[in-house]
C-alpha cells in the first residue's frame, strides 16, 4: 500500500475533507494523527473508522494557537519518531458582509479567520518542515479554496486567507525543495460536507450545484484523492502546484 509505515498528520481531521483524507491514508497503510479543536466525539468517531492496521491517534489542538501547535507536533514526534506527511486542512469561515457589520466586528472576524486559516498553517508548516529536514524530507499538502481565486464577497477574510495560503504554500515549495520536501495545494469548490449542507439543501442549492457543468457538488472522497496524490511518492515534480477540485465551476487561466 502507498503509505505503509508512513506517519501522517491531518489537521482538522475529525470531519469533512479531513476525515475523508484520514480514512484514505489509513486504508493505504498509514499511521494517522488527526487534530481537532472542540469536538472530541467527532474525533473519536473518525478514529473508530480508521483501518486498525496502523497506529492512529487524535490530538486536541487549536489551529490558531502557536503553543498548542508546537505541542501537537512534539506529541506526534514522540509517538512516531518522524513525520512523513502533513495535511493542513483545519479552517473556518465567518460571514461578515461589509454593509452589515460594525468596525469592531469587522476587525474581530479578520483576526479570527486569519489566525486559523493563515497564521496557524504557517506555524504548522514551519514546525513540520523543520522536523522533516532532520529525517530526509516529506510531503506537505495545504487545503485552500476556489474562493482564493473567485473572491468571497460575504466572507472576504476567508477568501483572503486562502489566497495567502496559496502564496505561502508556493513560497515554501521553492524554499523547501532543496530539503526534499514537497508542498502542494488542493483548492476545492463546493463540497458535500456538514458545513456546506445547509447551503446545498437550501433555497439556493440548485444554483450552487449548477455552477458546475456536472450539476452537483463534489464529494469529500474526490478531494481526498487529490490530497493523497500530492502526498504520494512520485508526485515530487508537482511541488508548488495548486490542484482545483471544483467540477469546472471556476477555471483559472
- The 10s digit of each residue's pLDDT in 108-146 is 999 999 999 999 999 999 999 999 999 999 999 999 999
pLDDT per residue as tens digits for the range 185-202: 999 999 999 889 999 999
158 is catalytic: yes
| Cα gap 57→1, rounded to integer Å | 20
Q: Which member of 80, 103, 158, 199 is catalytic?
A: 158
Domains parsed from the chain with CATH numbers: 7-190+219-245 (3.40.50.720)
If residue 188 lies in a helix (H) or strand (E), which one and from where to where? strand 181-188
DSSP class of 225: H
C-alpha–C-alpha distance, residues 191 and 11, integer Å: 18
Say if pTM beats, i.e. exceeds, 0.85.
yes
CA-wise closest residue to 34 among 51, 61, 13: 13
Q: Cα(73)–Cα(227) distance, rounded to whole angstroms?
A: 20
Contact yes or no for 189/245 (Cβ under 8 A)? yes
Query: Is the predicted pLDDT of residue 253 greater than 90, yes or no?
Result: no
Largest interatomic CA distance in the chain: 53
Q: What is the pLDDT of residue 31?
A: 98
Amino acid at each position: 500500500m502507498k503509505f505503509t509505515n508512513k506517519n501522517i498528520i491531518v489537521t482538522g481531521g475529525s470531519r469533512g475533507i479531513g476525515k475523508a483524507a484520514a480514512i484514505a491514508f489509513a486504508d493505504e497503510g498509514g499511521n494517522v494523527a488527526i487534530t481537532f479543536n472542540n469536538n472530541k466525539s467527532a474525533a473519536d468517531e473518525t478514529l473508530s473508522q480508521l483501518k486498525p492496521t496502523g497506529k492512529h491517534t487524535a490530538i486536541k489542538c487549536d489551529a490558531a494557537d502557536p503553543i498548542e501547535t508546537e505541542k501537537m507536533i512534539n506529541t506526534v514526534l514522540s509517538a512516531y519518531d518522524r513525520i512523513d506527511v502533513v495535511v493542513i486542512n483545519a479552517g473556518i469561515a465567518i460571514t461578515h458582509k461589509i454593509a452589515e457589520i460594525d468596525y469592531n466586528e469587522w476587525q474581530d472576524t479578520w483576526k479570527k479567520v486569519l489566525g486559523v486559516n493563515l497564521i496557524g498553517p504557517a506555524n504548522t508548516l514551519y514546525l513540520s518542515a523543520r522536523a522533516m529536514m532532520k529525517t530526509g524530507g516529506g510531503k506537505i499538502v495545504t487545503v485552500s479554496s476556489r474562493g482564493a481565486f473567485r473572491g468571497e464577497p460575504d466572507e472576504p477574510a476567508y477568501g483572503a486567507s486562502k489566497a495567502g495560503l496559496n502564496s505561502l504554500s508556493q513560497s515554501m515549495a521553492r524554499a523547501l525543495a532543496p530539503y526534499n520536501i514537497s508542498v502542494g495545494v488542493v483548492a476545492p469548490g463546493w463540497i458535500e460536507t456538514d458545513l456546506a449542507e445547509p447551503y446545498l439543501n437550501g433555497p439556493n442549492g440548485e444554483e450552487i450545484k449548477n455552477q458546475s457543468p456536472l450539476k452537483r457538488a463534489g464529494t469529500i472522497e474526490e478531494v481526498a484523492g487529490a490530497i493523497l496524490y500530492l502526498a504520494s511518492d512520485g508526485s515530487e515534480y508537482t511541488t508548488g502546484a495548486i490542484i482545483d477540485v471544483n467540477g469546472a465551476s471556476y477555471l483559472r487561466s
